[in-house]
């Protein structure tokens, strides 16, 4: 139970394995077999330790993301990145995390660029070069999406929201048909109809 909740919390907080570093996970491994004891004792030490690191990493990732998106990407350079990184290893270092973010942001920018180019009817076979204005618009779309993502991840209710997610994970591991409802959540009826989110 403890190991399952421990692992699931990281997957919930960082589903793309691009926020935490492997060293963070190693540091938090001391809680891997203690979650059940903490739940029984009413302790939140594991969550608090995890959330403190998570908050720091989100702040770092936001600064990194906004810095990377200031400059156009080298689209001539061929690179690969796994866009959906569920169950992938966490970056081993800050440099590896930065490279991962750069590649992910380049991928999302190129995806938006191609969608915008297609919508404008500008796709010509054999066409060389990149439309700089369109690339800047694509980067702006990615920047806006991530600005909202980071705003929610660091907002005034972020700690309570993440704690509710932790409790959901802890409860679901006992019984997948049981849900945790935080004190500020809407009614059970609204929960069932997915009106809150």
CA distance 23 to 91: 9
pLDDT class for 85, splitting at 50, 70, 90?
Answer: confident
pLDDT class for 173, splitting at 50, 70, 90?
Answer: confident
pTM for the model stands at 0.82
DSSP state of 126: T
Burial class of residue 5 in the structure, from the number of CB atoms within 10 Å of its CB (0-12 exposed, 13-18 middle, 19+ buried): buried
Residue closest to 69 by CA, chosen among 102, 110, 116, 99: 102
pLDDT at 134 over 80: yes
pLDDT at 127 over 50: yes
The residue written with tokens 């704690």 in the block is 163
């Amino acid at each position: 139970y403890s190991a399952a909740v421990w692992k699931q919390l990281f997957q919930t907080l960082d589903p793309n394995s691009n926020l935490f570093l492997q060293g963070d996970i190693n540091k938090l491994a001391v809680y891997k077999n203690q979650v059940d004891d903490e739940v029984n004792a009413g302790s939140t030490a594991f969550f608090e330790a995890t959330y403190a690191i998570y908050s720091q990493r989100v702040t770092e990732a936001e600064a990194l993301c906004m810095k990377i998106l200031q400059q156009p990407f080298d689209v001539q350079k061929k690179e690969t990145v796994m866009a959906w990184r569920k169950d992938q290893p966490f970056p081993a270092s800050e440099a590896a995390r930065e490279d991962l973010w750069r590649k992910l942001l380049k991928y999302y920018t190129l995806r938006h660029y191609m969608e915008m180019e297609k919508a404008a009817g500008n796709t010509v076979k054999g066409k060389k070069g990149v439309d700089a204005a369109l690339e800047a618009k694509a980067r702006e779309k990615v920047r806006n999406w991530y600005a909202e993502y980071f705003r929610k991840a660091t907002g005034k209710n972020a700690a309570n929201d993440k704690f509710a997610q932790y409790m959901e994970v802890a409860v679901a591991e006992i019984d997948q048909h049981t849900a945790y409802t935080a004190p500020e959540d809407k009614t059970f009826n609204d929960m069932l109809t997915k009106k809150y989110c």
